A and B are shown apart, each in its own frame.
Chain A
Amino acid sequence: MGDFIKRNLDGDGVDRRGFLKCMAWAGTGAFCVIQGGVLKSFSMSDMARMSKSDKANMKGELSFVQISDSHIGFDKPANPDVTATLREAIAKINALPEPPAFILHTGDLSHLSKASEFDTLDQALKSLRTDKIFYVPGEHDVLNDNGQQFHERFGKDSKGDGWYSFDQKGTHFIGLVNVMNLKAGGLGSLGHDQLEWIEDDVKNLKASTPIVVFAHIPLWSVYPQWGWGTDDSEQALGYLKRFGSVTVLNGHIHQTMQKVEGNVVFHTAMSTAFPQPQPGTAPSPGPMKVPAEKLRSVLGITNVNFVRGKHTLAVVDSPLDGPSVTSQFHLGQPDFDSAMAGS
């Protein structure tokens, strides 16, 4: 954590020292704000109860929400009604004091790539009070038809197998597809054509341009034994090395994880449908079965409190049912401490 954008590495005149480095995960979505090129995220519940001064503090140049892994069509334990939990996530987003500029959905909209599942998701997301939703497919969205249906409905303006980029208020967003043409024994894959496109897509950008990359399967090696990684992600990230701020947002693993490597922050979001086990803690990465009354405690909600100028960040994981866990990050040091405290 300590080496995260500590100094002005690219000589662009932007001093990032002193910016707070925040990251957080909400059970049903993360609210992200780009401030001075550094992405911060807040839980939806946190946003709803923020004071005016808090809101003023977090008001960035750009805000958006990430949701992931809706798995519409899944109907087994621990969540027989994944549409209901998606609607809860939507309600939380709609309750935000500042409407997000757009939503990112990082894949697995559906469970079985069925037209009816895509219909249900589409209908549910229509109630979102936002102008635009950007999608990338998960492996569950491209079953049987090589992703044709997904691309026709959710990726019309994309290139190749569904990748694309866009700019929002000085930040460059890159949506990638790493769930197609997977090879026996391998992990997620971007493929040669997409890698070439990435190199070309960023070549004329200034190194000071904040970059946000989003894709379904993690673009870092979370747990290769379970396929939680992408074979050629290093090459893709190589094209982004010269940028001062790169944020990588993924889904797929149905739990929050974070990692900082140089100027790159990696996040994974929780699912709106069901949890998956922590790496290696179960015979397989299949859906984690929890008692019905525990479902929302597993999904949980995360509050992030940041203090300007004090180089500290408190991440409060608040499940709907159960005690909160507070992690405090001391920034500007080689390592961060994670203090656990019930509240």
Chain B
Amino acid sequence: MCAGLLGAAAWGATSHARYSVSAAAAENGATQVKIDNFSFEPKEITVSAGTQVTWVNADDVPHTVVSNDNKFKSKALDTDDRFSFTFAQPGTYEYFCSVHPKMTARVIVK
């Protein structure tokens, strides 16, 4: 369990840095958010307008990706299922898992 905890923490830290940098640099590039251990990783990403963001569920239980104001909404994602959404307009998009609403995160589009 300790190894799992450390692993998850390390993954989160590195991925957060990587996505922030790559997303800022990417022009209409794709970026990915991993759903793992009942959390969105990274919890916050910044992308340029027109970027397609893809969520991948790495958990053993289904999750959803639902915008707080219903701008986007996935079906239930089983293990390894994906959901993509292209953010055309700048803004801050808060979203959560409607199955486990404690799971919250955001996409910032510049």
15 A/B residue pairs, CB under 8 Å, sorted by A: A139-B99, A143-B62, A184-B68, A184-B94, A184-B96, A185-B104, A187-B101, A187-B102, A282-B1, A283-B4, A283-B37, A284-B37, A284-B39, A285-B38, A286-B61
Q: Shortest beta-carbon distance, B11 to chain A, in Å?
A: 11
> Is B60 interfacial (CB 8 A cutoff)?
yes
Least CB separation from A281: chain B residue: B1
Quick check: B76 and A112 within 8 Å, CB to CB? yes
**Hey, which bits of chain A sit against chain B, CB under 8 A?**
74, 76, 111-113, 139-140, 143-144, 182-187, 224-227, 281-287
Query: Which label, helix, strand, loop or mixed, suits the secondary structure of the A interface?
Result: loop
Quick check: A226 and B37 within 8 Å, CB to CB? no
Least CB separation from B69: chain A residue: A184
Q: Find chain A residues with CB under 8 A from B37 CB.
A: 283-284, 286
Least CB separation from B36: chain A residue: A284
Quick check: B99 and A286 within 8 Å, CB to CB? no
Least CB separation from A143: chain B residue: B76
**Hey, which bits of chain B sit against chain A, CB under 8 A?**
1, 4-5, 8, 37-39, 59-62, 64, 68, 75-76, 78-79, 94-96, 98-102, 104
Quick check: A185 and B61 within 8 Å, CB to CB? no
What is the bound-complex CA distance between A74 and B62, given in angstroms?
10
What is the bound-complex CA distance between A283 and B12, given in angstroms?
13
Q: Find chain B residues with CB under 8 A from A282 CB.
A: 1, 4
Quick check: B101 and A184 within 8 Å, CB to CB? yes
Q: Which of A144, A184, A186 has the most CB of B within 10 A?
A: A184
Q: Find chain A residues with CB under 8 A from B75 CB.
A: 143-144
Quick check: B76 and A144 within 8 Å, CB to CB? yes
Q: Find chain B residues with CB under 8 A from A227 CB.
A: 100-102
Q: Shortest beta-carbon distance, B80 to chain A, in Å?
A: 12
Quick check: B60 and A185 within 8 Å, CB to CB? no
Q: Find chain B residues with CB under 8 A from A74 CB.
A: 60
Q: Find chain A residues with CB under 8 A from B8 CB.
A: 283
Q: Which of B38, B78, B101, B104 has the most CB of A within 10 A?
A: B101
Quick check: B60 and A76 within 8 Å, CB to CB? yes
Q: A113 and B76 in contact (CB under 8 A), knowing A140-B62, A285-B38, A286-B59?
A: yes
Q: Shortest beta-carbon distance, B12 to chain A, in Å?
A: 11
What is the bound-complex CA distance between A282 and B7, given in angstroms?
13
Quick check: B102 and A225 within 8 Å, CB to CB? yes
Q: Find chain B residues with CB under 8 A from A112 CB.
A: 62, 76, 78
What is the bound-complex CA distance between A281 and B62, given in angstroms?
21
Q: Shortest beta-carbon distance, A337 to chain B, in Å?
A: 30
Q: Shortest beta-carbon distance, B36 to chain A, in Å?
A: 8
Q: Shortest beta-carbon distance, B44 to chain A, in Å?
A: 14
Q: Shortest beta-carbon distance, B38 to chain A, in Å?
A: 4
